[in-house]
């Protein structure tokens, strides 16, 4: 079976940025995702298209196919009262916009007049180097297709 639209894929990966490992799957818990539903970054999903169980490869994903370029307009100062008393640089929070959507942010600096935050994804602007091994592939269930994603504990091994 090959990776195509609506397949559920389990894979092992190591993500490096500038040669440094910044993320990796747990050996006992591979990443499971629904292919073709924007569950993973576009450059990695494109590289996985057509692969089979056991395929192992390296792919370099540029920022525009990963988390996008950094946008300095996404760095803002928010009112101090929007945060807990013990807000720390590097802490992550979630902000709710007027339309109800949730956006993650990272505290960059605590200032007397407010809190400087960054709404850019942490890996925005970075070139991502992945080492990937495809472990399993199966057809998605109707429920997974309806939801548009897979829950990790619903995976049954098939090849």
The CATH class of the 7-67+124-153 domain is alpha beta
pTM for this prediction = 0.81
Fold classification of 72-118 is: Thrombin, subunit H (2.40.10)
Q: What is the pLDDT of residue 95?
A: 86
The pLDDT tens digits of the residues spanning 18-50 come to: 999 999 999 899 999 999 999 999 999 999 999
All CATH 2.40.10.330 domain ranges of the chain, comma separated, are: 72-118
What share of the chain has pLDDT > 90, as a percent? 81
The pLDDT tens digits of the residues spanning 69-113 come to: 999 999 999 999 888 778 999 999 988 888 888 889 999 999 998
Q: What is the pLDDT of residue 152?
A: 52
Cα 128 from Cα 91, distance rounded (Å):
23
């Amino acid at each position: 079976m090959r990776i195509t639209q609506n397949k559920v894929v389990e894979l092992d990966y190591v993500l490096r940025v500038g040669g440094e490992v910044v993320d990796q799957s747990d050996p006992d818990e591979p990443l499971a995702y629904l292919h073709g539903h924007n569950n993973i970054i576009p450059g990695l999903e494109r590289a996985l298209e057509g692969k089979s169980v056991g395929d192992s490869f390296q792919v370099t994903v540029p920022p525009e196919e990963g988390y996008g370029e950094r946008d300095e307009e996404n760095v803002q100062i928010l009112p101090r009262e929007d945060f807990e008393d013990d807000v720390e640089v590097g802490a992550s929070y979630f902000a709710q916009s007027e339309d109800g959507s949730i956006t993650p942010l990272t505290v960059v600096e605590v200032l007397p007049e407010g809190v400087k935050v960054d709404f850019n994804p942490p890996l925005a602007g970075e070139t991502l180097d992945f080492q990937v091994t495809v472990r399993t592939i199966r057809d998605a269930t109707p429920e997974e297709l309806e939801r548009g994603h897979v829950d990790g504990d619903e995976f049954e091994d098939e090849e």
